[in-house]
Structure 1
C-alpha cells in the first residue's frame, strides 16, 4: 500500500477459475497488509495496473512489482530444492509463506522455516503440480510397467472440488454476494459463461474459502501437533535400543493431542543415516493405568500403505484368545487383516508381540 488510507486491491483473472489462484488469494488475506483487501477479477491490463498485487494473470513474475503469474513462456521458477514448476499458489507461498506462518502462528526462526518447507511439500506443491499438468508419476513409465488404476479418483482432489464451483447450478444459492470481506468486483460485463460477474465472483469466493479452510486445518495441525512431536519422536528414537538391541522397536509416549510420529521418524532416520531400522512403533491408546497398547508397522515411506515388515501373516485377521494362542503372547486383542497394526491389553504384551514379529 502506497497510501496508508487506501484499501489494497488483489487482482486475479475472471472467467473459469482454478484451485491455485483460489488458494493464492486466501493466503494473501492471511497477511496483515491484505487482510481487508478488495478483490478485482479481470483480464483488462489497464485495470490490473491499478491493483496493489496481482496473481495468476498478467504475464509477469516480479516480486518487486508484486506480480505473480506463471503462464508466460519463459517462466521456470520452482520452490527451493524442488522441481515442480510453481503456480500462483506456489509463488505466493514462496515469497510470503514465512510471513504467513508468523502472522498465523507467531512462530519464527527454525520452527517457522521447518513449517515453511513442510507446508509446501505436503499441501501447496500439489496445487502447483495440478495447475501445471504435472503428474505425481510419469505416465509414460507407468504404461511401460503396465500399471493401471484400480479405480478412478478424479473426483477426490481439492482441485476437482474447486472446479465444481464453476459449474454446480446451486453453488451460490443463498451465498453472500461478492462484497464479503470487503471484496469488490470489476464491474465487467456478463462473461461468456453466461453467469454475471457478481455470480462468478461469488463462486470464486466460495472456492477460495473452501481451499482456505483446508490450508488452515493443515497449518494448525502442523504447528500445534506435528511440530512439537519432532522432539518427542527424536527422544523415542534415541531410546529404542533398550527395547531391541538392533533398534527395530520404538515406543512413542502418549500425549492427549496425539503424536504424529511417522513423518518425523523417516526424517530423523535420514539425518542419523540409519534409514529402515525401525520396524514397529508401540503407543498407548490413552493415559489411563492398564490401558491397551497398539503395535504399528512402519511404512516404507511417509503416507505409503506398504510396510517395512507387516505383522506375521499367521496373526492377521485373528483376535483375542485365538490370537494369543497363535502368537504365543498373552493378552492379544487383534491384528488387522492387512498386518499393519495390532493390539494387546498391556505394554508388556505389545512389546512381546513386537519382539517376536521382528524375527519372523
Structure 2
C-alpha cells in the first residue's frame, strides 16, 4: 500500500492525516511528491492531487471548487478530511493497542468527534489560514512545523538529496509525535469512560457533601459536576504518593471557580504549620489557590473536609 503526500515543507494537517493512515495500515509506504503519475498510482493521496473522494482514497482540499466544512462551519483541510473518514477506526485500533479494550463503534465515533473538536479542527484552521497557529505560538501546528529542516540545516547538508532525506526522516519523526498525541487522547478518553461507573458508585460521606474515591487517578470531575450537585468536596487516595487528597469541585470545565473553596487560613501552609491550623497532625499541604490539600491518613483528611464544609456552609 502506498500513501502519497506533497513534497517540500510539511504541515501539521498532512502529517496528522498520514499518521492516522499509518495507524490503520502500518505496512504502508509513504512517498512525498508532486509528480502526477506517482500520486495517481498511490492508494491514498493526501493534501495533493486536486481531488476529494474518500472512496478512492483522495483527500485534497486545494481545488477551487472545494467547500467542505464541518456543521460548525469550520473548514476541512487534509487532517480533518482523513479524520472524518477514518477517525473512529483509528480510535478503536489505538484503544485496543493502548488499553486492551475493544470499544463499541458508537463509542469510538464519539471519541473521534471529541478529538476533532479538541485537536483536529485547529490543525485545519491553521492550514487554511483562519488561525495563525493551533493553538498559540507554540501550539501543535507550530510544533510540527518546527520538525522541518531550516536554512541552516540545508546549508549544513549541502542541499539536494541529503536535505530531502533529512526532511523525510523529520516527517516520520513528526508522524511518531502525532501518533503519540492521538494515543494519549484516546487512552485518556477510554479511561474516562470506564471510570464513570466507579465514580458513580463511590462512597458518599458527610451527608452526601463529600465523595470518597479509592483511587486518585480516576477522572471524576465531569461526572461530579454534571450528576452530583450536592457534592462540595472530593477525597481521593493517591496510591502513588500514599496520601489522601481533598479536592474542591470546579463549577465548570473551563473555570478555576469552585462550588466551595478550602479555608483561607490554610492557603500555602505545609506540614507543621498546616497541622497547627487544622489540628490534624499528619496534614501535608494546602495549595495557595485553595483547591487541593492533603493529609497522610483518611481520618486526617476527613477532619479537614469537615472543617472545610463548616466554613463553606457558615
| Band the TM-score falls in, shorter-chain normalisation | 0.7 to 0.9
**Judging changes above 3 Å, is the alpha-carbon distance between structure 1 residues 134 and 229 closer, same or farther for their aligned structure 2 residues?**
farther
The structure 1 residue matched to 2:123, chosen from 116, 121, 127, is 127
Q: Deviations over 1:289-336 (max 9, x none)?
A: xx5310112234336545443322221011234323434555422101
Structure 1 residues 306 and 125: alpha-carbon distance in aligned structure 2, compared to 1, 3 A threshold: farther
Question: Residues of 2 paired with 1:349 and 1:83: CA distance?
Answer: 52
Which residue number in structure 2 is paired with residue 204 of structure 1? 171
Give distance in 1, aligned partners of 2:136 and 2:261. Answer: 26
Could you tell me which residue of structure 2 aligns to residue 167 of structure 1? 149
Query: In the alignment, what sits opposite 2:137?
Result: 154
Matched, 1:50 2:41: yes
> What residue in structure 2 maps to residue 253 of structure 1?
214
Structure 1 stretches of 4+ with a deviation exceeding 4 A read 133-136, 168-171, 303-306
Higher helix fraction (1 or 2):
2
One of 19, 36, 53 as aligned partner of 2:12: 19
**Unmatched tracts of structure 2, length 5 or more:** 97-101
1:97 to 87, 97, 113: 87
- Cα deviation for residue 206 of structure 1 reads 2.0
2:247 counterpart SS class = strand
Alignment of 1:106-145 (within 5 A): 106-134=102-130
- Check whether the contact 1:316–1:339 (CA below 8 A) recurs between aligned residues: yes
Q: Deviations over 1:14-67 (max 9, x none)?
A: 111111211110110111xx3222222223344322221112223332222222
Q: Give 2:99's aligned residue.
A: none
TM-score w.r.t. length of structure 1: 0.70
Q: CA RMSD in A?
A: 3.4
Q: Distance in 1 between matches of 2:27 and 2:250?
A: 44
Q: Please give the per-residue CA displacement for 1:260-310, whole angstroms capped at 9, x wherever unaligned.
A: 2234444xx1xx4x6x6543221012289xx53101122343365454433
Q: How many residues align?
A: 299
3-state SS of 1:165 partner: coil
Give the superposition deviation at 1:166. Answer: 1.4
Distance 1:314 1:86, change over 3 A: farther
Deviates more, 1:226-235 or 1:322-331: 322-331
Q: Contact conserved, 1:11 with 1:48, CA < 8 A, in 2?
A: yes
Q: Is 1:312 matched up with 2:274?
A: no
Q: 1:70 to 1:286 in 2, by over 3 A?
A: same
User: Residue 233 in 1 paired to residue 192 in 2?
Assistant: no
Query: Which position in structure 2 is the counterpart of 1:182?
Result: none
Give the structure 2 partner of residue 356 of structure 1.
307
Secondary structure of the corresponding residue to residue 260 of structure 2: coil
Please give the TM-score of this superposition, normalised by the length of structure 2: 0.79
C-alpha distance in structure 2 between counterparts of 1:116 and 1:163, whole Å: 24
Q: Cα 1:132–1:307, aligned 2, differ >3 Å: closer, same or farther?
A: farther
Other-structure match for 2:68: 76
Mapped pair 1:337 → 2:297: no
- 1:326 alignment partner in structure 2: 277
1:283 maps to 236
CA contact 1:165–1:203 (8 Å) conserved in 2: yes
The 1-side partners of 2:40 and 2:260 are apart by 58
- Give the deviation of 1:196 after TM superposition: 4.5
Please tell me whether the aligned partners of residues 87 and 109 of structure 2 are also in contact (alpha carbons under 8 angstroms).
Answer: no
Q: Select 1:61's aligned residue among 40, 47, 52.
A: 52
Is the Cα contact below 8 Å between 2:149 and 2:167 reproduced in 1? no
Residue 219 of structure 1: which of 183, 186, 192 is its match?
186
Structure 1: where are the runs of 5+ without partners? 1-7, 137-151, 175-188
Q: How has the CA–CA distance of structure 1 residues 135 and 342 changed in structure 2, closer, same or farther, with 3 Å as cutoff?
A: farther
Give the Cα–Cα distance (whole angstroms) in 2 for the partners of residues 263 and 35 of structure 1.
35
